[in-house]
Amino acid sequence: MRFSKCRAGLLTLSALSALLALSALSAQAADPKAYVGNFKDNTVSVIDTAKGVVSATIAVAAGPHGMVLSPDGRRLYVSGDGSSQVSVIDTASDTATRPLEVGKAPHGLAMAPDGKRLLVAVYAEDRIGVWDTASGAQVGSIAVAKPHTLAILPDGKKAYVASQQPGSFSLAVIDLATATVLRQIALDKPPRDLEASLDGRAVYATVAGENAVLVIDTTSDSVVTRLATGASPHIAAPIKGGKLGGVVVQGPGEYTLFDVGTLTVLRSIPVGKQPHWAATSGDGRTAYVSNEGSNDLSIIDLASGTVRQVAVGVAPRKVVVQQQAGSAGSAGAGRVSIINFAFAPGELRIVAGQTVTWSNDDGAPHGLAHADGARGADLLLPGASVSRRYDQAGSFDYICSVHPYMTGKVVVSAR
């Protein structure tokens, strides 16, 4: 009798630790989310990329146009073409926070690689606004006529802006350190989009009425070659993790892959009607193409070329995708690093239902003891981690069980 009780107890314990291990695993493997701006119904569709479904819809400023994520994937910026605002979305909760008042008819957005500056093409005011993302304040303004889209090179030093001023179409090259226009690359047709290559040595630009991608050398700031495509290419961008690039070709409704080294077209994958934009996952395996004419999103497995369509809102234009798994959602929202005998951050704010993971990134063993008596860890060796899910709102203190002077707090707000 006693023996079997004991066995049952052991089983329960091992089942419990298996469950704990599982929950820690699922917290770390949170899938990245994709965001689609629906131009005509003023919303953003949130896509659960693992399930391939719309998990939420967020109201944003009128005419969602430009979209960009912070490098850590935690904040999404959406410009409202028909407003004077840039909506700011907290991606952990997928809710809008206070918008930025940026000026009339904001079009394209670009984020500095370090995430500290946001560039806003303020179309109707003929200027680029420079915003500090931490304070939410405008810190600069650069005159560029009718700025539409823009790209920042990976080293953060130069930006290229599509200037749609009738009679003098050009790409304005901006030095970001001095916030000055270095030169204008003249074009005979209006520029549409431009994107930097991964090494920063080229910018891929599209212009209205030309069935080719213009490849601009960023050293000489001149067009060095043209990559012929089908009718009306819109965005041409590199894909991480290899030497591929992808072009959204609006006329035939295709996503065309090209070799960024040889600048040759490899294959074209049919997508929806009048595709507008594309984003690719951080591992370079999946492309997301928004289809303005068929109100859906094509999710493409790039290795096999298999396409899955997901219905979104009305007239989807821009699409972005978080670049690292767990960059937001339950896992990203709750990550505490133990480093230099301290918890970082010392105070973490999450939403009820989210899980916090503490990882020992220090050289010494630590532990975790919760003030409310919830299960922590008596010993957390370097490299180990432990998780806790918070379902109730409140303020939760904890300490290191090995070094009680190490304190931390999790503040949980209601959903």
The window from 2-10, 328-336, 364-372, 377-385 that contacts Cu ion (CB under 5 A) reads: 364-372
Of 138 and 407, nearer to Cu ion (C-beta) is 407
Nearer residue to Cu ion within complex by CB, 332 or 367: 367
Greatest C-alpha distance within the chain: 93
Give burial (CB, 10 Å; 0-12/13-18/19+) of 220: exposed
Sign of the dihedral through C-alpha 156, 172, 254, 69 = positive
- Helices and strands: H and E segment counts in the chain: 2, 37
Binding mask 316-355 for Cu ion (x = CB under 5 A): ----------------------------------------
Count CB atoms within 10 A of the CB of residue 398. 22
Q: How many residues bind Cu ion (CB under 5 A)?
A: 5
Whole-angstrom Cα distance, residue 103 to residue 84? 5
CA 4 to chain centre: 53
**Torsion over CA of 213, 219, 222 and 224, rounded to 10 degrees?**
-50
User: By C-beta, is 17 or 340 nearer to Cu ion?
Assistant: 340
Nearer to Cu ion, 389 or 403 (CB): 403
**What's the min distance (Å) between Cβ of 308 and Cu ion?**
47
Q: In the block, which residue shows the tokens 């072009």?
A: 247
CB of 297 or CB of 380, closer to Cu ion: 380
Q: Which is nearer to Cu ion, 153 or 406 (CB)?
A: 406
The H-or-E segment that residue 170 falls in is strand 170-175
Residue 76 beta carbon to Cu ion: minimum distance, rounded to whole angstroms: 36
CA distances from 306 to 32, 269, 300, 301 (A): 20, 9, 6, 5
Closest separation between CB of residue 83 and Cu ion, Å?
49
Q: How far is the CB of 339 from Cu ion (least distance, A)?
A: 11
Closest to Cu ion by CB, 22 or 379: 379
Give the number of other Cβ atoms within 10 Å of residue 301's Cβ: 13
Binding mask 390-409 for Cu ion (x = CB under 5 A): ----------x-xx--x---
Contact 233, 220 (CB under 8 A): no
In the complex, least distance from residue 403 CB atom to Cu ion, rounded to whole angstroms: 4
Q: Lay out the site mask for Cu ion across 99-128 (x = CB under 5 A, - = otherwise).
A: ------------------------------
* Residue 124 Cβ vs Cu ion, minimum distance, rounded to whole Å: 55
From 66-74, 210-218, 361-369, 386-394, span contacting Cu ion (CB under 5 A): 361-369
Q: Whole-number minimum distance, CB 395 to Cu ion, in Å?
A: 21
Cα distances from 66 to residues 147, 277, 283, in angstroms, run 12, 11, 23
Alpha carbon distance 186, 165 (integer Å): 11
Interacting span for Cu ion (CB under 5 A) from 233-241, 312-320, 327-335, 359-367: 359-367
366 lines the binding site for Cu ion (CB under 5 A): yes
> How far apart are alpha carbons 347 and 253 in whole angstroms?
48
Shortest distance in whole angstroms from residue 411 CB to Cu ion: 21
Nearer to Cu ion, 297 or 406 (CB): 406
Which amino acid would we find at residue 70?
S
Of 41-49, 242-250, 281-289, 366-374, the segment contacting Cu ion by CB under 5 A is 366-374
Q: How far is the CB of 240 from Cu ion (least distance, A)?
A: 37
> d(Cα 60, Cα 35) in Å, to the nearest integer?
12
Q: Which of 62/342 has CB closer to Cu ion?
A: 342
Query: What is the nearest approach in angstroms of Cu ion to the Cβ of residue 363?
Result: 11
**What are all long-range contacts of 261-270, with beta carbons under 8 Å and residues at least 24 apart?**
263/215, 263/225, 263/227, 264/227, 265/227, 265/228, 265/229, 267/305, 268/230, 269/300, 269/305, 269/307, 270/307
Check if the beta carbon of residue 159 is closer than 8 Å to that of residue 150.
Answer: yes
Nearer to Cu ion, 186 or 364 (CB): 364
Residues binding Cu ion (CB under 5 A): 366, 400, 402-403, 406
